[in-house]
Amino acid sequence: MKTLTGKELAAAIRAETAARVADGPQPRLAVVVATADEASLWYVRSIAKAASGVGIACDLADLGPGATATGIRETLERLSADPGVHGVMLQTPLPPGASAQELAAAIDPAKDVDGANPLSLGRLAAGLPAFAPATAAAVMALLDHYGVALEGRRTVVVGRSTVVGKPLAHLLLGRNATVTVCHSRTRDLAAVTSTAEVLVAAVGRAGLIGAEHVTPGAVVIDVGTNPTEDGGLAGDVDSAAVADRAGALTPVPGGVGPVTTALLLRHTAQAADLR
């Protein structure tokens, strides 16, 4: 089985972004946070660190886990109206009573570098230019980097979230893949996933995908980043179980994650250029 690491691709995307940023005014990304979730805060710190490495300014608007929907909306509106800010991202999860889908509508689509505004998802579905959510874009970037053909091929996406499953299904359709989307109510998941030549797991359940879900030779992309008890990170794929069946598999950590962060920064540089 081939291991499809994301670290080199992420480094290449960051280097290309740094070169692009060096030519013009400094892009600025604002990250809005309203959670105490450790995994989410880890991601925010890694965005800030990577941004500083490529010459992008990164402002954190930390509203705390007690933030209200109104407070979050007003922050997103203020950042969207601020000509000095080029990218705006709203981290999930949010406090109870705040809907990410509804609040994301307050992000100017021109600054929507994580593709969260429903308008961005609609444009993606319509085949119009839009920022895709960085995680969904990272899956496509990895498939392209490793030369995985998509045209006419059977692809199965497990997970229907607004940040990964749904936008990814549209991106794959845009490349003429044959796309099936599975979710928690899918009957006989293994029967469906084992038809996949390209299988993407994006459900957020550690080790859900085992050998019985994978057809021999399949390319398997693991989007899951599930915190483990010992402070580590586990994917949605039981990598030991599928090692003898999959043709290729992305590792966790070191697969989709680093590419996600790199693409968020590329999107920010693009948003600054488009202004």
Ligand X SMILES: Nc1nc(=O)c2c([nH]1)NC[C@@H]1CN(c3ccc(C(=O)N[C@@H](CCC(=O)O)C(=O)O)cc3)C=[N+]21
Q: Please tell me whether 99 is known to bind a ligand.
A: no
Q: Is 17 or 92 the residue whose CB approaches ligand X more closely?
A: 92
Axis-axis angle for helices 256-273, 7-22 (nearest 10): 20
Q: Is 219 or 262 the residue whose CB approaches ligand X more closely?
A: 262
Q: Calculate Rg over the CA atoms of the chain.
A: 18
Q: Is residue 157 within 8 Å of 172, Cβ to Cβ?
A: yes
Q: Please tell me whether 159 is known to bind a ligand.
A: yes
Q: Please tell me whether 70 is known to bind a ligand.
A: no
DSSP code at position 56: -
**Binding site residues, ligand X, CB under 6 A:** 39-40, 42-43, 46, 90-92, 114, 116, 134-135, 163, 225, 233, 252-254, 257-258, 260-261
Q: Is 50 or 189 the residue whose CB approaches ligand X more closely?
A: 50
For the bound state, the minimum distance from the C-beta of residue 255 to ligand X, rounded and expressed in Å, comes to 6
For the bound state, the minimum distance from the C-beta of residue 265 to ligand X, rounded and expressed in Å, comes to 12
For the bound state, the minimum distance from the C-beta of residue 232 to ligand X, rounded and expressed in Å, comes to 7
Q: Please tell me whether 174 is known to bind a ligand.
A: no
Instruction: Check whether the bond before 93 is cis (ω within 30° of 0).
Output: yes
Sequence-distant (≥ 6) Cβ neighbours of residue 249 within 8 angstroms = 1, 2, 3, 4, 219, 220, 221, 222, 237, 239, 242, 243
For the bound state, the minimum distance from the C-beta of residue 186 to ligand X, rounded and expressed in Å, comes to 23
Q: What's the rounded Cα separation, in Å, for the pair 228 and 215? A: 27
Instruction: Check whether the bond before 95 is cis (ω within 30° of 0).
Output: no
Q: Is 123 or 189 the residue whose CB approaches ligand X more closely?
A: 123
Binding site per annotation, positions? 159-161, 225
Binding site per annotation, positions for NADP(+)? 159-161, 225
